[in-house]
Amino acid sequence: MIIPGMVSATFRAQSAEWIIERCKMAKLQAVEWSENAHVFPDDVTGAAVLYEKTKAAGLDIAAYGSYYRLGQQEQPEDCFLKSLKSAIALKAPVIRIWAGSKPSSEVSEEELTALSKEASLIAEMAQEHQIKIALEWHKNTLTDTNESAMEFLRRADHNNLYFLWQPTVALSMKERTEGLALIQDRLLNLHIYYWKDGVKRPLEEGIFQWQEYLSQIDQRVPRYGLLEFVMNGTEEQFLQDAEALHRMLRVE
C-alpha cells in the first residue's frame, strides 16, 4: 500500500499553510516536511505547532526531510541532535539524511569507515526515539550506485538504517529496477517525479516507468509515495501530477 503525499521542499518558498491546503486540494494524505524550508533544526516549538496543523488537516507526517550530511560535521552527535529534536517534536517516523557529499568512486577506505561509523551513531540516536533513518538515494553520495549503497549499509551494520528511494538520473532504468529489488527490506518512502534527459516533465509522461518501479516493490507494506520536482514549479502542474499519481496508485 503506497500512500500518496508530497515533499514540502517542492514549494519551499510557500508557507506551511499553503502546502497543507494544496495537499487537501490534491487529495494527498501526507507531507514530508523539509528542513530549512518549513521546519528548522532545534526549533522544537515550531515543529510541534506544525505537527498540530498537519494533523488538524487530516494529513500524516511522512518524514522529516533533513539536510544532515554524513562526514560534514566536526561534532556530528551535537549537530544531528538539533535535527532529531525537531523530528521528535514533529512526531516524524523517519528522518532523511544524506550519505556524504561526493561520488562513491572517490571515497577512500578511511573515509568509508568513518562515514559508516557516523551513520551507525546517527541511527542509534534516532532509534532511541523510535525514529528510522533513511539515506537519500542520490548521485554524488554513497548511494549513487546499487553496489555502493549496499556496501555502505553492510559497513554501517545498523538495523535502524534504511533508504528513501528516487529514480536518480545517474542510473539507467535497468539499474534503478535492480536497485529497488535489492533494497526491499530496507525501503521506506519513495520520492515520485519524472525527469527526461535531466529535465523535469509531467508525471503523466512517466507513468509507464513508474509502473515498472512499483512492480519491484512489495505493496502490502505501507509506505509513502511523495510528489517532488514539479515542472516549472507551478501549482497547476502540481495538481496535474497529483492526478497522475492517484491514477498510478489506483487511489480514488
Q: Report the relative pairing of strands 223-227 and 2-7 from DSSP bridges.
A: parallel
- pLDDT tier for residue 12 given thresholds of 50, 70 and 90: very high
Asked if pLDDT for residue 150 goes beyond 90, the answer is yes
Strand ranges for the chain from DSSP E:
2-7, 30-34, 60-69, 94-98, 132-136, 161-165, 187-192, 194-196, 199-201, 223-227
Residue 144 burial by Cβ neighbours in a 10 Å radius (0-12, 13-18, 19+): buried
State residue 250's pLDDT score: 80
Length of the chain: 252
Please provide the average confidence, as pLDDT, over all residues in the chain: 95
pLDDT tens for each residue of 75-122: 999 999 999 999 999 999 999 999 999 999 999 999 999 999 999 999
3-state secondary structure of 8: helix
What the block records as the C-alpha cell of 10 is: 517542492
- pLDDT tier for residue 74 given thresholds of 50, 70 and 90: confident
- pLDDT tier for residue 252 given thresholds of 50, 70 and 90: very low
What the block records as the C-alpha cell of 9 is: 521542499
